[in-house]
Chain A
Amino acid sequence: MPEGGKIDSKQAIFLMVSMVLPTTFLFVTSAIAHLARQDGWISILLATLTALLIAWLVANLSRRFPGKTLFQFPEVILGRWPGKVVALLYIWWYIQVSSEVLREFGSFMVSAFMPDTPLIVFELLIMAIAAYTVRNGLEVFTRINQIVLPLILGSFVILIFLATPEMNLKRLLPVFIENGAAPVIKGAVMPAAWIGNIVTMAVLIPYLNKAKEAYKIAVSATLITSSFLISTFIADISIFGPEVSAGWFFSALNGIRMIHLANFLERMEPIAMTIWIAGGLVKISVFYWVTVLGSAQWLELKDYKPLVLPVGVILLALSIMAHDSIMDLLTFLGTIVIFQDLIIFQVGIPLLLLVVAIIRGQVGTGIEEKEGGKQG
């Protein structure tokens, strides 16, 4: 097997949180508020429900094929060539996701902090580190994440606490009546596509030391992520109100910029930058690792290390070439990507695979047995 690492359940939860939260928190409010206005937190709740369904789907599917990842079990379900095609689609999708994440990372640094620096500088630097991390394997960046994520979540709580003097919770009123259901549902699509990346569990499950807990892990990670997203949303809306929030690119950054206490506790946005870089590194590493691992499994290689650099170059080039501006990135992420992500890759294909597997009666040998065998 290309990847030999094993991680425990807590590490897996941390990893799945880092895969979504550290970058999405920055623009969650503006992305949702322009559709669902002050009711966006309901949208996030809906998105959470969707993600829980996806998690169930994936956990159910993986349980039937222990030891096999998302890039391997389609072959068992659909037969060799159709399965290969599905796996290839997933590889293509992960290449796209990784390069978009990379582009988001660079775009934020350039537009908010260092306008004169070329985008490629940030992307190249983070990719160099990510390549090194991925080369070292799953266990390594999981452990990095174990250090990074508690710091991120801690500073998160502190920042929200410090911004409370600026908040007016009345800005969240009136609830629901004004906008009705349609905008709330529209607003739920984007966060659903973000949290829905929990589908990546299908790649991670074979590397858990307790694969039985897969669903529990996915659920905890989803709940942690969405509770932080909801707090960010409520904080931003109660600072800026829905109209102004919808206008920002990075609403949480503007929220953090508002912090000024006792005339010295102010200008806290370097913390936002730190969260972004540290969390962004883990996030990019996860998707990068999945892409590389998937490619190696698709090609049936013994080791994925030879693929790290070539795939990295592809990701880097794609992220630079895909968009000409941050506006283009935003409209792309807000329209095509979310439907493609959600409908095809997070719900559609897994559902199809599950249905076929059930029809063909592929129950799987059961993880318990395998674990028992391993010990014996």
Chain B
Amino acid sequence: MTLKDSGLSNDQLLDMFYYMLLSRRSDERMWLLNRSGKIPFVVSCQGQEAMQVGSSFALHKGVDYTAPYYRDVGVVLTMGMTVKELFLQAFAKAEDPNSGGRQMPGHFGHRRLNMLSGSSPVTTQVPHAVGIALALKMKQEEAVSFVTLGEGSSNQGDFHEGLNFASVHDLPVIVMVENNQYAISCGIEQQVNCKHISDRAIGYGIHGETVDGNDPVAVYQAISNARKRALAGMGPTLIEAVAYRLTPHSSDDNDLTYRTKEEVDLAKEKDGLIIFKRTLKDQGILTADIEQAYEAKIKALIDEATTYADEAPYADVSTLFDGVYHQ
């Protein structure tokens, strides 16, 4: 991991670390809440914080558009969702700005943050993001459309249709495949037979590259370059960020029926959060004091958000008909 030449100041690097830690701790809290029966379901970001935060740091808040997928706690927090809002959606409360408690947990969307609400069928968001990019091009806006998905999901027809159209029209869209090596129980070798998901870019005539998804700086640079290309009219980019899913697929899954604890333990040694922390410390950017202060601040934020969201009311039954049609 090279921090020099990254174009990022020490403050920015610390900020990146802060958001990665915030994402991890939020996710860990959600598991606790799930296991104690407070929230119904968790689908985790753990192991993917580096790519999520690194990529989002290259985007412009309030300018660019995102269509995140269900693991993207790191993306949504970096793009400006508050911890309170994150927990309101986990509890599915009425005040949740994502959907007013109508969505599955992890199905993010935030109008004010230019974040499109995602649906459960995987990969549907890719053509949506391409549509947004077409609109940006037609309106000549200086902005890009950023969309993420899992590597298993890159086998859906929507992936092909979206990327092909985006390429034909040189659209400002960045597609990041978060390759965590598994689609529920299916390892990568059962899903694809190419070396890299980014190899598929050749077929669309667009730029593709594979980056270390445990290195937030490498992902940041790849997305920054993709953004420049997009704004220069050079069309879409396909980025594959490779890491490992550290948790089971979701809170409803037992991953030890299809992978070994040894494999997971080995992956934990490459955990982007741990490596980034070590690198920042080795380089004297992160001190023990700063780390402690971050942990304390994050714990306070998550405690407050948990209590608030827990006590907030659910959507009322009388609102069942709201939002089905324009009223």
**A interacts with B:** no
